[in-house]
């Protein structure tokens, strides 16, 4: 237990405010974009990360002074912001809000991987270029960097205030945010204002990135994801779209986080973010300062579902494909191929689960990997601690995943569209954080090792081919389960909820019940996949089922066609197997996933096989 | 084309605004069937019609917010069909949108000044701003308040001031009296006449036929997307045909 | 006893009164229409009755039982069905499935109402499909086809087509079929002929008349007054959120207040104006609701 003197308390206060300043910068950018484009921009974290790298290159490689560095960072990030808006999002302006949101996820995947390819995934050291001397002020010690961060943030806030309040362009920006169509009737070119907003937001994000890089003395590609979530949490706390709210929210989050870490330890750092994220979304979606404004209205159907006729796949083809898959091990001696396909079968189950929840029932889930994790841990712990036979523990894992996961997701059922996406992402992360911090049960970051291997009716399943068959077998069982539900009244009811929840309610459908049923059914399948994975690897930790897994699964689903079961399996095979089979692509796989997602949303929203 | 007795060709002015053969669709629903109308310089022209007759869509077609499938819109002698809205505004059309659509979180002052967004002549903008405050003295007391807290009538005046700040040749008003108390309605109509006397041509869409026809020079009546009547305002005022167009025609 | 009774219903949106003390009754077997100019508050009234929105004051009774503020899904279970102003069919569902969704509250699954356990039972029963469920499934499908057959050959040949591929008029018909599959005691139609051409309108008029002859109770919002005049037993006229007239169609049509509501009030005295404008209190706004073209 750390000792709390007045002095450490004051130091924590300074730390919290400094971090909070940077969170505020990120949150302001997100707020501007949300206000003008009504969009949750998942690519914002990537811009921030790229800003950090540009700053690092300027200071460390080129040895430039900080002033020049900030100018270059601002220029490059502004350009990046404009490019994202122009080529990634502008054509999606009139689509359901989920469409541009998915596009920004695709962009962030691609940008993150690009930076990884150029600079390696490893953190780069970014020593603080400022003098190390600290000023003692009444018992509080303040460093030069602390002052710099505070000064830059304050300067930016003042400039932004002047821009928004007193310039013609600033007025146009605010007018566009308040009433896009009326702004057009004042002669405002709203597309240009959109681009300007992305540029301004990107500059703020990039400068924030450089400062955080210096503050924590390192930059690394995955810093984007956490920053994006913190920005959202701060923004939500202050009220989505509110600039003053973003400043207060950022500072508050910085303080909460710093004091929380001081009290509980650094592994808890992110937990606060996610709890705030979900708590505000569910309890007070207008945030602290958003009372005046309700959350912006959504289009009639908030879901990303394209009208299409699904490609009909003859039953003979399905059975033929299945037989070929069963016979495959007899015709190949390449264990690598079988391993990849085993992986594809497990991903297929994740994709089936997502296509049920997101495709069929229309609830955009970005946290489905949480179900994998619960299933994996539950099954592993039950067989390790209680000695449950494998068949039972797999089943129990699936049931626990479905029950616990649905219970955790329950508060989200009152939200719609892009807020569901944000909240489920947060829930996936909360599950991850609980696993990380509940060391007594999960062994924390060390993970669980020596998980009993797969077995079937008492016979060990440890060879490549039997594992392959086992995985294929449970995939078939899961698919039959889902198929049967889809053919029942549930399939129809879920699709009605997805297509138009208002009309569905008017016909007597209780939304919560059918959303819950979709998460339960999907959770069973994902839980089974996670449980199988745990025993197959004999080792899992909190990273095994990371958030990117959820988004990868979603990309598979969109590739195959929303709600389309055959599409989910084909999408899973394509995205797991193809990068492996063409080795040079493997290192750039997330770049490919991102680009695939971006192109699908723009050009083929119904996927390969069509929406069901 | 046989009898050409009426209009003398020399005096026929080019209309300031002209719609010809407009056909508009919302998805599968046809909103306009071959709608043609014109507005001459200096006139007040009103477009009347009952619920769902296609009036407001006509305004959207003029402003470029909705693109017609056929037909064209001419303004000041040049085609503007299909141009983006901001460019149409720059040609000299001011808009007072339906239900006013002022910017609720901006101050009254900012709302007025953003009306001059297309202009850069700062000194003249200042003068016009002062003129607006003379024309709409109620706004002067509220310059620093959020526009969202104004009453409906004040918002209507703000929307008119905002539209005038672009120095339009033509001002388009969509249901300017809707939702106002009867006394404020009169005030708004008075102001429309005043604006017109200062040389601004007015095209207004109104449901409230009896009122609009009292200040307009000419009127058109739209019913289910067809222009069913047109004529001088005093001829239309009180005409049984107008009543029938509103109440579902000839059912007696 | 009246099937539907509305007493003093009131709804404000941020100081703007959209529905202002409305009373109305609909007796069993009656067809009552609500008319009024744009923004009179008709759709808000519908939303209040069907639970999509909650009133600030007043109450709604169905068969004498208070249903004020009940959520729409519970009202549907009580036999209140509605269609929507702009048509809200489930685009990617087949026409038949759309109608079957209308029968949702009549399924055995809907009777499994115990929290959590009922839900789990629904999942398990859906999976094993016991014989009773299979019979119900066949029965409802047959019934749904019968409902589609009411529209002659408009919908039946297209039963397996996705609803988005239908013509606009057929989508509106599908929506009505869906509402009928609920076996409603009270059917609320919100501008059923909006966007239809005269032929389609005439056809739908005959269809609604046939529903009426079957004894269905109907509350109708409609802009095409000739249709209202031909169908309604009674007409209620709204303006500025208030009921300004009520009675038999012909009487209402010739009521000067109704004509004034549509055509506008003649201009008041020119002189009294300035004095009045100075007062703040009379600046009443009636409807900044979103307008739909």
pLDDT digits (tens, 9 = 90+) for A230-249: 999 999 888 888 888 999 99
The two beta strands, B17-26 and B70-75, are antiparallel
Q: Looking at the structure, do residues A200 and A75 belong to the same domain, yes or no?
A: yes
Q: What would the pLDDT profile of A411-437 be if each residue is shown by its tens digit? A: 999 888 788 998 999 999 999 999 998
Q: Looking at the structure, do residues A335 and A217 belong to the same domain, yes or no?
A: no
Q: What is the pLDDT of residue A3?
A: 53
Q: What would the pLDDT profile of A477-523 be if each residue is shown by its tens digit? A: 999 999 999 999 999 999 999 999 999 999 999 999 999 999 999 99
Domain count, chain B: 1
- CA A230 from centroid of its chain's CA atoms: 12
Q: What is the pLDDT of residue C263?
A: 77
Interface check A181 vs C, CB under 8 A: no
Of B50, B151, B210, the CB nearest to C285: B151
CA distance A87 to C52: 39
Chain C residues near residue B27 by CB distance under 8 angstroms: 168
Q: Looking at the structure, do residues A338 and A468 belong to the same domain, yes or no?
A: yes
Q: What is the pLDDT of residue A588?
A: 85
Tell me the C-alpha to C-alpha distance, in Å, between residue C24 and each of A193, C83, C220: 49, 20, 13
Taking an 8 Å cut-off on Cβ atoms, the answer to whether A307 and C123 are in contact is no
* Number of helices (H), then strands (E), in chain B: 10, 10
Taking an 8 Å cut-off on Cβ atoms, the answer to whether B178 and C195 are in contact is no
Query: With contact defined as beta carbons under 8 Å apart, do B212 and B205 qualify?
Result: no
Taking an 8 Å cut-off on Cβ atoms, the answer to whether B179 and C286 are in contact is yes
Give the per-residue SS3 of C253-293: HCCHHHHHHHHCCCCCCCCHHHHHHCCCCCCCCCCCCCCCC
Instruction: Tell me whether residue B4 is in a domain.
Output: no
Instruction: Tell me whether residue B3 is in a domain.
Output: no
Domain count, chain A: 2
pLDDT over threshold 80, residue B108: yes
Q: What is the pLDDT of residue C32?
A: 97
Chain B residues near residue C168 by CB distance under 8 angstroms: 27-29
Q: What is the pLDDT of residue C288?
A: 28
Query: With contact defined as beta carbons under 8 Å apart, do B71 and B19 qualify?
Result: yes
Instruction: Tell me whether residue B23 is in a domain.
Output: yes
CA distance A455 to A389: 9
Q: What would the pLDDT profile of A376-398 be if each residue is shown by its tens digit? A: 999 999 999 999 999 999 999 99
Collapsing DSSP to helix, strand or coil, A178 comes out as: helix
Q: Of the residues A222, A246, A265, which one is the last residue of a structural domain?
A: A222
Closest CA in chain C for residue B190: C270
Q: What is the pLDDT of residue B3?
A: 42
Question: What are the phi and psi torsion angles at C157 (to 5°)?
Answer: -65, -15
- Give the residue carrying structure tokens 């209780």: A510
Q: What is the pLDDT of residue A12?
A: 87
Tokens at residue A8, please?
């450490």
Q: What is the pLDDT of residue C259?
A: 81
Cβ neighbours of A590 (radius 10 Å): 22
How is residue A299 annotated by DSSP? P
Among B83, B117, B146, the strongest candidate for a mutation testing the A interface, having the largest count of A CBs within 10 A, is B117
Q: What is the pTM of this model?
A: 0.89
Among B65, B105, B129, the strongest candidate for a mutation testing the A interface, having the largest count of A CBs within 10 A, is B105
Cβ neighbours of B77 (radius 10 Å): 9
Q: What is the pLDDT of residue C280?
A: 31
Q: What is the pLDDT of residue A446?
A: 92
CA distance B218 to C195: 28
Q: What would the pLDDT profile of A118-132 be if each residue is shown by its tens digit? A: 999 999 999 888 887
Residues B162-173, mean pLDDT to the nearest whole number: 96
- Give, in words, the CATH class of C1-79+184-281: alpha beta
Closest CA in chain A for residue B107: A165
Q: What would the pLDDT profile of A18-49 be if each residue is shown by its tens digit? A: 999 999 999 999 999 999 988 889 999 999 99
CA distance B237 to B246: 13
Taking an 8 Å cut-off on Cβ atoms, the answer to whether A178 and B63 are in contact is no
Where does the pLDDT of residue B15 fall: very low under 50, low under 70, confident under 90, or very high at 90 and above? very high
Q: What is the pLDDT of residue B249?
A: 46
Which carries the bigger pLDDT value, residue B247 or residue C174? C174
Share of chain A above pLDDT 90, in %: 71
Taking an 8 Å cut-off on Cβ atoms, the answer to whether C137 and A489 are in contact is yes
CA distance C230 to B251: 10
Closest CA in chain B for residue A293: B105
Among B183, B210, B219, the strongest candidate for a mutation testing the C interface, having the largest count of C CBs within 10 A, is B183
Of C52, C72, C109, the CB nearest to A489: C109
Name the residue among A565, A1, A519 with its Cα closest to residue A264: A1
CA distance A465 to A507: 50
- CA A313 from centroid of its chain's CA atoms: 32
Tokens at residue B86, please?
């901001």
Q: Looking at the structure, do residues A331 and A458 belong to the same domain, yes or no?
A: yes
Q: What is the pLDDT of residue A502?
A: 92
Per-domain boundaries in chain C: 1-79+184-281, 90-182
Q: What would the pLDDT profile of A59-71 be if each residue is shown by its tens digit? A: 999 999 999 999 9
Interface check A178 vs C, CB under 8 A: no
Taking an 8 Å cut-off on Cβ atoms, the answer to whether B56 and C291 are in contact is yes
Please state at what angle helix A98-119 crosses helix A417-437, rounded to 10 degrees.
50
Q: Which residues pair with C221 in a beta bridge?
A: C34, C190
Q: What would the pLDDT profile of A56-113 be if each residue is shown by its tens digit? A: 999 999 999 999 999 999 999 999 999 999 999 999 988 888 889 999 999 999 999 9
Low-confidence ranges of chain C (pLDDT < 70): 15, 265-293
Instruction: Tell me whether residue A216 is in a domain.
Output: yes
Where does the pLDDT of residue A5 fall: very low under 50, low under 70, confident under 90, or very high at 90 and above? low
Share of chain A above pLDDT 70, in %: 96
CATH of the domain at B98: 3.40.50.300
Contacts 24+ apart (CB under 8 A), A321-328: A322/A476, A325/A472, A326/A469, A326/A472, A328/A468
Q: What would the pLDDT profile of A260-288 be if each residue is shown by its tens digit? A: 888 888 878 888 888 888 888 888 777 77
Interface check C194 vs A, CB under 8 A: no
Tokens at residue C245, please?
């007239």
Query: With contact defined as beta carbons under 8 Å apart, do A272 and A256 qualify?
Result: yes
Residues 6+ apart with CB under 8 A from B127: none
Residues 6+ apart with CB under 8 A from B111: B102, B103, B147, B158, B162
Cβ under 8 Å to C: A residues 292-351: 300, 305, 307-309
- CA A265 from centroid of its chain's CA atoms: 24
Domain coverage including residue B150:
17-247
Domain coverage including residue A536:
315-354+366-494+507-547
Taking an 8 Å cut-off on Cβ atoms, the answer to whether B101 and A189 are in contact is no
Instruction: Tell me whether residue B171 is in a domain.
Output: yes
The two beta strands, B29-39 and B17-26, are antiparallel
Chain A residues near residue C88 by CB distance under 8 angstroms: 300, 500, 502-503
Query: With contact defined as beta carbons under 8 Å apart, do A126 and A58 qualify?
Result: no
Question: What mean pLDDT, rounded, does chain A reach?
Answer: 90
How is residue B218 annotated by DSSP? E
Taking an 8 Å cut-off on Cβ atoms, the answer to whether C283 and B154 are in contact is yes
Taking an 8 Å cut-off on Cβ atoms, the answer to whether A305 and C182 are in contact is no
For chains B and C, CB pairs below 8 A equal 120
CA distance A213 to A57: 12
CA distance A52 to A364: 31
Tell me the C-alpha to C-alpha distance, in Å, between residue A117 and each of A61, A124, A205, A587: 18, 14, 22, 8
Of B100, B181, B209, the CB nearest to C282: B181
Return the exposure string of A84-113: e unless at least 16 CB atoms fall within 10 Å of the residue's CB, then b.
bbeebbeebbebbbbbbbbbbbbbbbbbbb
Q: What residues of C are in the B interface, CB distance below 8 Å?
A: 16, 37-39, 167-168, 191, 194-195, 223-226, 228-229, 253, 259-260, 262-268, 270, 272-273, 276-277, 280, 282-289, 291, 293
């Amino acid at each position: 237990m750390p000792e709390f003197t007045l002095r450490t308390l004051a130091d924590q206060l300074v730390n919290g405010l400094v971090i909070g300043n940077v969170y505020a910068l990120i949150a302001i950018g997100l707020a501007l974009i949300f206000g003008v484009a009504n969009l949750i921009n998942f690519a914002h974290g990537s811009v921030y990360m790229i800003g950090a790298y540009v700053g690092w290159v300027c200071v460390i490689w080129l040895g430039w002074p900080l002033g020049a560095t900030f100018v270059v960072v601002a220029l490059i990030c502004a350009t990046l912001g404009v490019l994202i808006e122009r080529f990634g999002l502008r054509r999606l302006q009139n689509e359901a809000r989920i469409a541009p949101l998915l596009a920004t996820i695709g962009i962030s995947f691609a940008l993150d991987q690009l930076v990884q390819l150029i600079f390696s995934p490893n953190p780069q050291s970014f020593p603080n270029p400022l003098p190390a001397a600290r000023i003692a002020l009444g018992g509080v010690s303040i460093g030069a960097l602390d002052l710099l961060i505070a000064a830059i943030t304050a300067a930016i806030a003042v400039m932004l205030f002047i821009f928004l309040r007193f310039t013609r362009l600033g007025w146009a920006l605010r007018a566009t945010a308040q009433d896009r169509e009326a702004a057009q009737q004042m002669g405002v070119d709203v597309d240009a204002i959109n681009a300007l907003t992305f540029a301004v937001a990107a500059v703020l994000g990039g400068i924030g990135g450089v400062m955080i890089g210096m503050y924590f003395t390192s930059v690394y590609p995955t810093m984007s994801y956490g920053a994006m979530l913190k920005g959202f949490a701060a923004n939500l706390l202050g009220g989505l779209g509110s600039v003053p709210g973003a400043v207060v929210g950022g500072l508050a989050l910085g303080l909460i986080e710093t004091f929380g870490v001081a009290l509980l330890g650094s592994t808890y750092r992110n937990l606060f973010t996610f709890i705030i994220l979900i708590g505000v979304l569910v309890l007070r979606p207008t945030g602290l300062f958003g009372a005046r404004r309700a959350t912006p209205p959504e289009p009639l159907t908030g879901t990303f579902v394209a009208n299409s006729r699904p490609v009909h796949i003859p039953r003979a083809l399905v059975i033929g494909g299945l037989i070929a898959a069963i016979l495959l091990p007899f015709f190949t001696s390449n264990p690598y191929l079988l391993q990849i396909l085993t992986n594809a079968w497990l991903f297929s189950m994740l994709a089936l689960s997502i296509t049920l929840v997101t495709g069929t029932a229309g609830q955009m889930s970005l946290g489905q990997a949480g179900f994998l994790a619960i299933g994996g841990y539950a099954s592993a712990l039950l067989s390790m601690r209680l000695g449950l036979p494998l068949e039972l523990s797999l089943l129990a894992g699936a049931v626990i995943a479905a029950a616990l996961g649905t219970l955790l997701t329950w508060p989200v059922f009152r939200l719609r569209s892009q807020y569901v996406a944000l909240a489920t992402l947060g829930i996936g992360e909360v599950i991850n954080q609980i696993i990380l911090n509940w060391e007594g049960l999960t062994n924390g970051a060390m993970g669980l090792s020596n998980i009993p291997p797969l077995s079937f009716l008492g016979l060990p399943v440890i060879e490549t081919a039997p594992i392959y068959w086992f995985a294929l077998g449970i995939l078939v069982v899961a698919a039959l389960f889902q198929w049967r539900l889809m053919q029942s009244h549930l399939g129809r009811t879920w699709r009605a909820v997805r297509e138009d929840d208002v009309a569905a309610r008017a016909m007597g459908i209780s939304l919560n019940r059918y959303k819950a049923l979709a998460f339960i059914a999907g959770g069973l399948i994902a839980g089974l996949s996670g449980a199988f994975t745990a025993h197959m690897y004999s080792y899992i930790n909190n990273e095994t089922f990371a958030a990117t897994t959820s988004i990868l699964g979603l990309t598979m689903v969109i590739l195959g066609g929303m709600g389309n079961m055959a599409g989910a399996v084909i999408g899973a095979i394509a995205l797991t197997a193809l990068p492996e089979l063409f080795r040079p692509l493997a290192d750039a796989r997330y770049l490919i996933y991102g680009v695939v997602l971006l192109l699908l949303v723009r050009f083929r929203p119904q996927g390969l096989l069509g929406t069901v | 084309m046989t009898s050409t007795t009426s209009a003398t060709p020399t005096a026929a002015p080019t209309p300031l605004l002209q719609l010809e053969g407009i056909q508009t669709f919302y998805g599968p629903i046809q909103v306009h069937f071959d709608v043609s109308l014109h507005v001459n310089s200096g006139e007040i022209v009103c477009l009347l019609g009952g619920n769902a007759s296609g009036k407001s869509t006509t305004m959207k077609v003029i402003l470029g917010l909705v693109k017609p499938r056929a037909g064209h819109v001419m303004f000041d002698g040049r085609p503007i069909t299909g141009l983006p809205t901001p460019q149409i505004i720059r040609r000299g059309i001011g808009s007072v949108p339906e239900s006013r659509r002022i910017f609720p979180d901006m101050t009254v002052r900012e709302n007025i000044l953003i009306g001059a967004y297309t202009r850069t002549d700062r000194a003249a903008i200042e003068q016009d701003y002062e003129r607006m405050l003379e024309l709409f003295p109620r706004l002067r007391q509220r310059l620093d308040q959020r526009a969202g807290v104004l009453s409906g009538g004040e918002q209507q005046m703000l929307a008119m001031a905002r539209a005038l700040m672009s120095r339009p040749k033509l001002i388009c008003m969509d249901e300017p009296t809707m939702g106002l108390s009867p006394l404020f309605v009169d005030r708004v109509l008075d102001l429309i006449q005043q604006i017109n006397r200062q040389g601004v041509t007015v095209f207004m869409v109104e449901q409230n036929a009896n009122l609009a026809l009292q200040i307009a020079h000419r009127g058109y009546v739209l019913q289910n997307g067809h222009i069913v009547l047109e004529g001088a305002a005093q001829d239309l005022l009180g005409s049984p045909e107008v009543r029938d167009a509103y109440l579902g025609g000839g059912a007696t | 006893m009246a099937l539907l009774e509305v007493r003093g219903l009131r709804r404000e949106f941020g100081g703007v009164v959209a529905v202002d003390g409305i009373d109305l009754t609909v007796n069993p077997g009656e067809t009552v229409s609500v008319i009024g100019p744009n923004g009179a508050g008709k759709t808000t009234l519908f939303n209040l009755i069907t639970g999509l929105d909650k009133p600030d004051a007043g109450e709604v009774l169905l068969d004498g039982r208070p249903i004020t503020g009940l959520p729409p899904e519970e009202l549907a279970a009580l036999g209140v069905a509605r269609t929507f102003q702009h048509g809200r069919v489930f685009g990617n569902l087949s026409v038949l499935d759309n109608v079957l969704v209308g029968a949702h509250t009549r399924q055995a699954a809907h009777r499994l109402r115990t929290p959590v356990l009922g839900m789990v039972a629904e999942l398990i029963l859906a999976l094993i499909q016991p014989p009773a469920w299979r019979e119900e499934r066949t029965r409802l499908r047959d019934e749904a086809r019968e409902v589609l057959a009411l529209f002659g050959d408009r919908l039946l040949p297209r039963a397996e087509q996705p609803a988005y591929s239908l013509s606009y008029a057929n989508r509106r018909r599908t929506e009505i079929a869906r509402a009928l599959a609920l076996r409603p005691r009270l059917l609320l139609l919100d501008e059923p002929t909006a966007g239809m051409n005269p032929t389609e309108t005439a056809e739908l008029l005959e269809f609604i008349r046939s529903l009426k002859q079957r004894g269905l109770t109907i509350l109708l919002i409609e802009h095409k007054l000739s249709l209202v005049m031909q169908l309604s037993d009674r007409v209620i006229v709204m303006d500025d959120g208030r009921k300004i007239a009520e009675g038999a169609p012909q009487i209402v049509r010739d009521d000067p207040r109704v004509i004034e509501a549509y055509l506008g009030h003649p201009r008041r005295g020119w002189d009294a104006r300035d004095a009045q404008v100075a007062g703040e209190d009379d600046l009443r706004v009636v409807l900044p609701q979103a307008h739909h073209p």
